[in-house]
Structure 1
């Protein structure tokens, strides 16, 4: 199997993140611990930048994949825009230095306060997902004395051939406007003076391993764009969303150029080369830039299965419980002289669904550290405090330097804002 994370490699029998030994980080900061590689972020970004070189395009990082300020700032520094889905994400990207005119606001449930905040910031575009939302944005913009830039997120009913929970472009999904309704809704938007039509948007899913579904969706969108042009509605950009896969096991995801080359060819062939192409990659920029370090607490041999109980859990990495997702597992100090046994890697949470990996051949012992691969996307961003477990710290490695970019939560912080009626706030109780 090809390595999914070349920035995490063995040196003299010890797993490193770039130039930093992972045991050093685990000892200093404790586990569970998220560790990210800056070089991996930059390499993933460069793949998109090279594919767009000399072309009219904008890469808007999908913030929901990983919203740590250090990562947002790194992409901002590299020239990214941002795809957000909440007012909280808007505040985060602005705090990280984002230029408002590079922000697109997606999501099916935008609230009035979020719309006002985005209007005040001066974002590039709202990706509108329903007729009701269109009317709401128009009302809020009119109340603010502003004109809201909008794009319709069109649902093209295209199968992305991915997990059903991360498929977003089928007619059964909650996302977007059915493509057969889009033309009429654009006409409605044109009639509302508080709206300014700037583009069309589409997002068909995540962890997509072939370009075919995008090109199928593109063909439908180009037909819509030509209809709108005939109606006198001219667009400025075409947003194809994100969803490019990463390698978790043996996938062979396409390079960004394999997607963008035929996209630009189709635009020019149909006289639409003036359109700016917007992409919203998330997982493909950060997924393989991170690992989750965890310590083996106990080994438990049952009648039918063997369990390695670790200090990370489903609240730290939700994807296996949610999607039955695969994450590679690597010992930080491999025991090459020991015979591997087959282990299920499970956490301390009181749920049978609290597992991180199943049936893995490993030579391990209590006290060993393991690295769960491909934890840069949808790991910390989906983390919770279930079972009153503090969320783990985050580290960004740059060469031989390691930066603490989010401290570990304390137990006291978990309930510091809670109140018992008639009693003062609780004093701090020391914990990890």
Structure 2
């Protein structure tokens, strides 16, 4: 298991360790924690907390490294950002300006990507449960491709395409039964997962796709999971894809494109970040001689390190019988769900330079939501934090705000984009009244007692 998760034994990185591994962050004696060129206390002073912060320059830098790695390997790879990782229009516009297309998994994400200026012919539609309406939406806009995940979906798509008078460009997403070596809840390439077409049925189903009306069988897709650090699972999956492509071509059928998926991991705690250069080498080695177009679907690797969640310590609660104290933040599981969902580990750094060098202590960091699972980490070693101290939770740019909810009637946090020394609000803090403005009270409940 990757040591993203709090079950991993070992000492936590220090504040200095976390800063050294994140070039966009620095600690200034007066300004405190600075992201790109913006003091984070300035944002917290203006907007309060919790507040999400995304770094535009960081996004661009990471995209350019990924793109350059593919080109340096001699590969012409289309990069489709996985919108599920972060769907804010500003984020999508930044990545689009660098050349990115989109990978979407719902009709809503398709519409969001197009609203951000990504043309439909540079969008790929993945996901196991596309509805007829979503298929028709994608076909109407001329989507680049639909990644089909089952024989049943293929038949439904054929019927939808014929009814629309369109031809659906299709890749079959195969399940290669390869263990990505990541958390069970974010692995997608094992036979027991809900994703993809069983490998041993793929050739026959590809032939079926080529024969169906309204379907253009264009290629093969594979995605084995998320937060992948090692290249061996990629190599194994891509080798199986290459075998499949050759078997399909032996039937006299064409394969034009291979979608290599995403899932490249980042360093939350002690992990070695997945290297785009190593991924490019794996793709070139296993798939580079097949003469197909190539695509990848990065999400976390691009967006994760570009985001922070600012929070304030509500209070220190004394532990019982010698147990560590509880540090209660104003951010909660409804804001950042990953620790509750996956036991995910996120670095925590004080915004104050003075707080950052305070003596370390072992604490439990929790939120105010009425759930025992509302925790950001047990037995964490952090500088001593007092009531009112501000902190940044690191690497929240992927699967952070996009997974937020309003549980416990908590309004959605504000969002900010920093770009060098400039910062802008990109989503205002939700007004509490909007949480119930769509509620409808039946007329029978508003009548006076006894009235008919």
Give the structure-2-normalised TM-score: 0.91
CA distance in 2, matches of 1:149, 1:333: 53
What corresponds to 1:34 in structure 2?
52
Shift of 1:165: 0.2
CA distance in 2, matches of 1:242, 1:94: 21
1:278 and 2:295 aligned: yes
1:56 aligned residue (72, 76, 92): 76
1:409 and 2:430 aligned: yes
Task: Tell whether the 8 Å contact from 2:172 to 2:197 is kept in structure 1 after alignment.
Answer: yes
What corresponds to 1:328 in structure 2?
347
2:159 partner SS: helix
1:292 aligned residue (303, 309, 312): 309
2:371 aligned residue (335, 351, 359): 351
2:443 partner SS: coil
Flag structure 2 segments of 5+ consecutive residues without an equivalent: 1-16, 447-452
CA distance in 2, matches of 1:424, 1:95: 40
1:384 aligned residue (405, 424, 440): 405
Superposed, 1:67-216 pairs within 5 Å as: 67-216=87-236
Shift of 1:4: 4.1
Shift of 1:423: 8.2
Can you list the C-alpha shifts for 1:102-133, whole angstroms capped at 9, x where unaligned?
11100000001111111111111111011111
CA distance in 1, matches of 2:431, 2:407: 14
CA distance in 2, matches of 1:162, 1:265: 23
Can you list the C-alpha shifts for 1:76-102, whole angstroms capped at 9, x where unaligned?
110001000000000100000002111
Task: Tell whether the 8 Å contact from 1:389 to 1:411 is kept in structure 2 after alignment.
Answer: yes
Shift of 1:424: 11
1:336 to 1:72, Cα distance in 2 relative to 1, 3 A? closer
What stretches of structure 1 move > 4 A for 4+ residues in a row?
none
CA distance in 2, matches of 1:423, 1:71: 46
Shift of 1:55: 2.6
1:375 and 2:393 aligned: no
CA distance in 2, matches of 1:150, 1:4: 41
2:161 partner SS: helix
CA distance in 2, matches of 1:384, 1:423: 30
Can you list the C-alpha shifts for 1:249-269, whole angstroms capped at 9, x where unaligned?
12112321211123223334x
1:198 partner SS: strand
1:339 to 1:278, Cα distance in 2 relative to 1, 3 A? same
1:231 aligned residue (251, 265, 268): 251
1:55 partner SS: coil
What corresponds to 1:266 in structure 2?
286
Can you list the C-alpha shifts for 1:369-405, whole angstroms capped at 9, x where unaligned?
0100011010101101100101111111011110111
Can you list the C-alpha shifts for 1:347-383, whole angstroms capped at 9, x where unaligned?
1100000001222222211111010001101010110
CA RMSD, Structure 1 to Structure 2 (Å): 1.5
Task: Tell whether the 8 Å contact from 1:390 to 1:414 is kept in structure 2 after alignment.
Answer: yes
Flag structure 1 segments of 5+ consecutive residues without an equivalent: 426-432
1:240 aligned residue (260, 263, 270): 260
What corresponds to 2:386 in structure 1?
365
Equivalences, count: 422
Can you list the C-alpha shifts for 1:226-257, whole angstroms capped at 9, x where unaligned?
01111111111111100000010121123212
What corresponds to 2:8 in structure 1?
none
Task: Tell whether the 8 Å contact from 1:56 to 1:275 is kept in structure 2 after alignment.
Answer: no
Task: Tell whether the 8 Å contact from 1:4 to 1:249 is kept in structure 2 after alignment.
Answer: no
Task: Tell whether the 8 Å contact from 1:82 to 1:102 is kept in structure 2 after alignment.
Answer: yes
Shift of 1:18: 1.2
Give the structure-1-normalised TM-score: 0.95
1:314 aligned residue (312, 317, 333): 333
